[in-house]
Copies of this chain bind each other. A is one copy, B any other.
Amino acid sequence: MIETRPLILITNDDSVQAPGLLRLIDCMPQNVDIIAVAPAEPHSGQSSAITVGAPLRIKALPDYGNARMFAVTGTPVDCVKIAMHAIVPRKPDLVLAGINHGSNSGCNVVYSGTMGAVLEGCTEGIASCGFSLLHHSWQADFTMGMPFISEMVKKLIKDGLPEGVCLNVNIPARVEPKGIRVCRAAKGYWTDEYEKYSDPSGNPFYWLTGRFVNSEPNATDTDEYWLSQEYISVVPVACDMTAAQPIDFLAKRFDK
């Protein structure tokens, strides 16, 4: 009865070689089918980008444990789309992404390739969740967050998620998490974003850097707050980006 086992599609944005991808697979329960379809190369900061006007290739890799593994020459969203079209034998029960090497809290959800893949799963009507560790290193230690991920995944398999809502989970680094809090994303923005250089011919070029500014440093109901308290933050993210509340107000201004 292999068709009745839950099928979990796993991806990330750090590439199929990333340790975080394997650690997420390690968190999966017994008695599920796992297919990992991840970018052949790192694609951080790719948001919901799709490959337009260029071909994609799929490469089957050796299994990792009981997970079937595939590399795709595209973005995280490409991975989900082509997995759904050409790889999975049936509609997955979950789309999971991560564990990302680095934070996707606050406004970073907008730029995140991890969360781009999760939004794609949600758009396709599948319960979807992204996991990120607040540590960029390839050698980051994921172990302290993994029992929490395992427990969340079991609940996601059992209960799913409300329609049109996916989850952005961030995990504090280098500590035993004190617990889990479902909360909202802190409002914020990036500043001091570029380092300026001169090339050998004296022509300038710029390199992205910068620091995140939390616009709500005193709020106690945001992901930034709970992460600072060493909790895992879980932010429900809307797949539909419409801001419904101001429609009537703006209709008075613009309708004609």
What is the distance, in angstroms, from A175's C-beta to the closest C-beta of chain B? 16
Query: Known contacts A47-B47, A85-B193, A193-B81; is A242 also within 8 Å of B251 by CB?
Result: no
One digit per residue, 1 when the CB lies within 8 angstroms of any chain B CB and 0 when it does not, for chain A 161-178 equals 110110100000000000
Task: Provide the residues of chain B in CB contact with A256, threshold 8 Å.
Answer: 179-180
Copies in the complex: 2
Q: How far, in angstroms, from A250 to B235 measured CA to CA in the complex?
A: 9
Looking at A206, A235, A255, the one whose CB has the most chain B CB atoms below 10 A away is A206
Query: Known contacts A185-B241, A185-B242; is A77 also within 8 Å of B155 by CB?
Result: no
Contact residue among B109, B183, B189, B250 (Cβ-Cβ distance under 8 Å from A124): B189
Interface locus among A16-24, A48-56, A137-145:
A48-56
B85 touches A194 (CB 8 A): yes
Q: How far, in angstroms, from A55 to B86 measured CA to CA in the complex?
A: 35
Q: How far, in angstroms, from A184 to B164 measured CA to CA in the complex?
A: 15
Is A187 on the interface with B (CB-CB < 8 A)?
yes
Write the residues of chain A forming the contact surface with B, with a CB cutoff of 8 angstroms: 44-53, 55-58, 77-78, 81-82, 84-86, 107, 109-111, 116, 119, 123-125, 152, 155, 159, 161-162, 164-165, 167, 179-185, 187, 189-190, 193-194, 196-197, 203-208, 234-244, 246-247, 249-251, 253-256
27 residue pairs of the A-B complex, CB under 8 angstroms, read: A45-B49, A46-B47, A49-B49, A50-B208, A52-B208, A56-B194, A58-B206, A77-B111, A81-B190, A81-B194, A107-B123, A110-B239, A124-B189, A152-B254, A155-B253, A155-B254, A162-B246, A167-B250, A179-B255, A180-B255, A182-B253, A182-B255, A185-B242, A236-B242, A236-B243, A238-B241, A238-B242
